[in-house]
Copies of this chain bind each other. A is one copy, B any other.
Amino acid sequence: MQALKDRIILEGTVLPGEVLKVDNFLNHQIDVAFLDEMGRAFLELFPDCHRATKVLTVEASGIAIAMPVARLLSVPLVFAKKAKSSNIDDSYYVSNVRSYTYDKHYQIILSKKYMTHTDHVLIIDDFLARGEALSGLIDLVNQAGASLIGAGVAIEKGFQPGGRKLREKGYDVRALATIAAFENGSVRFSEE
């Protein structure tokens, strides 16, 4: 999505540790009209998306980018929650996620009420790097016995292994913008 690449170039900040901050329109301040555009671009990425019965993401910043997609598809958005307590009962699907950013593990949970084997699920999230969060979401879909249409992310760090690993497992993972490398504090995108 060229408009997204343009905004990343113009407004993104590359921080030490290969962190890209896009706080100006996606992760802290949200440009709602632009996220609607991104929603339409996700629909073009996944020709099968109109079979979806649910859009799935994970709190917090995933909610903003997934909501326009759910609106365009006229289906509910479900967001997995980061578990805050250890007493999670068996009414939830639970998956373990490793966070490299904060160097710890956490659990994401999804109520069994909101996903079943009859669902067709499109996963939407903001970033894909090592793929830990996305793997957790796919795990939740599989636990539910639901059918996964695919997983769309706004920005993929193509130089990290998450996307490749998931595609090798057969999942349809697509990105609106794929970063090939950070070079001297600026961003080089992969060819389409």
Once the chains bind, are A28 and B114 in contact (CB under 8 Å)?
Answer: yes
Given A23-B111, A59-B59, A102-B84, A32-B77 contact (CB < 8 Å): yes
Q: Cβ of A114: which chain B residues have Cβ within 8 Å of it?
A: 23, 28-29
A177 to B1, alpha carbons, bound, how many Å? 41
Q: Which of A105-123 contact B (CB under 8 A)?
A: 111, 113-114
A59 in complex: contacting residue of B60, B76, B85, CB < 8 Å: B60
State how many copies of this chain the complex holds.
2
A31 to B78, alpha carbons, bound, how many Å? 9
Once the chains bind, are A28 and B64 in contact (CB under 8 Å)?
Answer: no
Q: Which of A1-47 contact B (CB under 8 A)?
A: 23-24, 28-33, 36
Q: Cβ of A165: which chain B residues have Cβ within 8 Å of it?
A: none
Residue A79, interface by CB 8 Å: yes
Residue A74, interface by CB 8 Å: yes
Given A32-B70, A111-B28, A79-B102 contact (CB < 8 Å): no
Once the chains bind, are B60 and A30 in contact (CB under 8 Å)?
Answer: no
Residue A51, interface by CB 8 Å: no
Using CB atoms and an 8 Å cutoff, list the residues of chain A in contact with chain B: 23-24, 28-33, 36, 59-61, 63-64, 67, 70-71, 74, 76-79, 81, 84-85, 102, 111, 113-114
